[in-house]
Amino acid sequence: MARTREFDTEAAVSRAMELFWRRGYEATSVRDLTGYLGIGQGSLYAAFGDKDGLYRAALEHYRNTLAAAALRSLEEGAGARSAIRAMLVERVRIAVEDNGRGCLVVNAACERLPGDAATRRIVGDMQDASRDALAEVLRVAAERGEVARRRDPYALAAFLVTFLNGLLVSAKITPDVRALEPLVEVALAALD
């Protein structure tokens, strides 16, 4: 008779996300994970298959929580420029925490690609969702006259996602919001 799983997998994924985010995939061993999560190695394998399965679950959890909240804040923002500024600054604020942990998704792209197709798919999907949400915000803002119409909203959105990725890498090098926030203003000048 199979044993019943004796731990909350959602809570375990959330905690694993924190550990992977702080330490990275390669520097986090299965022993680190089981100790941090308070579960046995057999339970980890039964629930997630292996370390890679838990890592993908952690990335999905990140997408469904923090990344989803960032996209919602864009859609709910009153003005496009202020919504985009707030989203960029909030992402930087999160990235500089814990002495510059960066962004879990950008960290995954830097550490796991190109060799991990599953991570590439998850990261690519998140990048696409961010770009598409920004493009829609920018399209509507251009129609309202909030931003210049001279640029293609899709290309501008792709630029902002690329800028944000670089900014989040910079947050690992210089974990100081005050040093990075002025760069957001430079990027927002592309909306003029």
Query: How many other CB atoms sit within 10 Å of the CB of residue 83?
Result: 19
- pLDDT number for residue 5: 55
- pLDDT number for residue 78: 72
Mean pLDDT rounded to a whole number for the chain = 92
Query: What's the rounded Cα separation, in Å, for the pair 123 and 104?
Result: 10
pLDDT beyond 50 at 1: no
- The domain ranges of the chain are 58-191
39-75 pLDDT, tens digit each: 999 999 999 999 999 999 999 999 999 888 888 887 7
H or E element that contains 170: helix 153-173
pTM of the entire predicted model: 0.89
Task: List the CATH code of the domain at 58-191.
Answer: 1.10.357.10
